[in-house]
Amino acid sequence: MDLIEKYFSDFTPRQLDQFRALEDLYKDWNSKINVISRKDIDHLYENHVLHSLAIAAAFSFPPGARIIDIGTGGGFPGIPLAIFFPEVEFLLADSINKKLTVVKEVAAAIGLDNISTRHTRVEEIRDRKFDYAVSRAVAPLKDLWNWSRPILLKRPSTEEYPASGLICLKGGDLAREISESGVKPSLIEVFDLFPEEYYREKYLLYVHR
C-alpha cells in the first residue's frame, strides 16, 4: 500500500480504506478461487493494483463515463480504476464466472457501487455502448480492437479527456503485435510513470475510436 501512496497523494479517506482492504480480501478469496498466481499475491499492490493505476496516471475520464474492462479476471484493472474514479461506471466482463464471483465479493466488501459484472465474451455484447474499453494482457491488440470497436461510442477528445477508445496494458516486445493489429496505438512506458524495476518493458497502448 505504501507504493500506491508513493505515487498518488490525493485520495479521500474512503478511497484509502478501499485500497488498503484489497490485500486481505484478495488473499482470502485467492485461497478459495485462484485468480492471482501464488507468486504474485504477496506483491498485490505492485504487480496488480499500481499496474492497473498506470491507466489513471496517464488518462482522466469524465464523470458519468462508461468503461468496459475486457477479460477482467480477478478485477484488474477494473477494481482499482473504479476506486480511483468513483463517478465513472465500470462493467467488468469475463468468460469465467468463478472469477466474477471474486470481483463481486471484493466490490461488495469495500462498498464499491460503481461497477457491475457480466459473464460473457465481449464480442457477444450487443446491448450496450461504452466511452472506453480497458484491458490487461488478455488478448492480442488486433483482437482487443476488433472486439471493442463495435461497442465504443464516438466521444471526441477534449483538453482534459481522451477521445473514446481502447486502453490496454501489455508487456514485452510489441512490434509484431502492433504491426499485425492494423492500428497505430499511442505507446506509453509504464516505467516512465512509475520508475520501479517491475515496470520495465511494460506499456500502455491507446487506440482512439
Return the pLDDT at 143.
Answer: 96
| Three cell numbers, residue 16 | 484509502
Backbone angles phi, psi at 205, to 5 degrees: -115, 135
Return the pLDDT at 66.
Answer: 98
Return the pLDDT at 53.
Answer: 98
Rounded-to-integer distance, Cα 78 and Cα 82, Å = 6
For residue 24, what is the domain's CATH number? 3.40.50.150
Rounded-to-integer distance, Cα 201 and Cα 197, Å = 9
Binding residues: 71, 76, 122-123, 136
Binding residues for S-adenosyl-L-methionine: 71, 76, 122-123, 136
- Give the chain's domain count: 1
For the chain, 209 residues long, give each residue's pLDDT as a single digit of tens.
899 999 999 999 999 999 999 999 999 999 998 889 888 899 999 999 999 999 999 999 999 999 999 999 999 999 999 999 999 999 999 999 999 999 999 999 999 999 999 999 998 998 999 999 999 988 999 999 999 999 999 999 999 999 999 999 999 999 999 999 999 999 999 999 999 999 999 999 999 98
Domain that holds residue 87: 2-208
Report the chain's terminal Cα–Cα distance, integer Å.
35
